[in-house]
Structure 1
């Protein structure tokens, strides 16, 4: 059963790990990988990734992607959003904000110390155009 829009948006705001899917140009199955993301109701979902990563190359070619999140308690629910994307160089502080959203303070500090050596990153903003959701109840 589908979930009302407000509940879908509320689920998407939680710091869950998303499955990112993007079409491949060669007709193989889509690339699907876990990713940290953020979302504000009524806005875009966004994530930071390597500027020259496979994810970024495929998203540039496709012009769109899908994010799916799932939670298991108190009931099993999932939300999937698909839509067009905008890609820009990551702004200062975006990668740090994402790390602090997902990691406890000490772990975030250690991660960010390593991230200083990562290759250049981009921020990808997905405008939710199509939603799929379900509340599967207590399974």
Structure 2
């Protein structure tokens, strides 16, 4: 059973770890990896990634990417969203903190932000406008 617009936006707004996917380039399958993301209903999705990462290079080349989030309890539900990149900007400590706080317990955020700032290199924030949605809730399957 497909989800309504409101249901899929609410589900995507929850802090799921997404399967990120982008065109992998000539002769390769899609680049697909787990990723943290941020989304508020009705807005754009954004991710943080390394400025020099393969993800960033492939997004830059393709101009678009996809995210898939799912769960298996209390029902099997998923939302997939795909769309064009609307803007890319330098990552900031504030955005890193916001993303970290979405996924980590409060007492772990400072340590992770410090670790990421030292070890992940320069980051970029990439915004995507949801254009195509696929969603379902399989009930009590």
Return the TM-score normalized by structure 1.
Answer: 0.95
Alpha-carbon distance in structure 2 between the residues aligned to 1:30 and 1:125: 19
Alpha-carbon distance in structure 1 between the residues aligned to 2:47 and 2:54: 15
1:92 offset after TM fit, Å? 4.0
1:133 corresponds in structure 2 to 135
RMSD: 1.0
Rounded to whole Å, the distance in 1 between the matches of 2:91 and 2:57 is 15
SS of the residue aligned with 1:48?
strand
**How do residues 36-75 of structure 1 correspond to structure 2 at under 5 angstroms?**
36-75=36-75
Counterpart Cα distance in 2 of 1:35 and 1:8? 19
Deviations 1:96-128 (A, max 9, x none): 100011001222121111112131100011100
Report the alpha carbon displacement of residue 91 of structure 1 after superposing the two structures with TM: 3.4
- 5+ residue gaps, structure 1, are none
SS in 2 for 1:96: helix
| Equivalent residue number for residue 108 of structure 2 | 107
Residue in 1 aligned with 2:35? 35
Aligned equivalent of 2:26:
26
Distance 2:55 2:117 in 1: 20
Match of 2:89 in 1: 88
Q: Where has structure 1 moved over 3 Å in runs of 4 or more?
A: none
- Matched residues in 1 for 2:84 and 2:62: separation? 9
Structure 2: 5+ residue runs without aligned partners? none
Partner secondary structure for residue 74 of structure 2: coil
Q: Shift of the alpha carbon at 1:87?
A: 1.4
TM-score by length of 2: 0.94
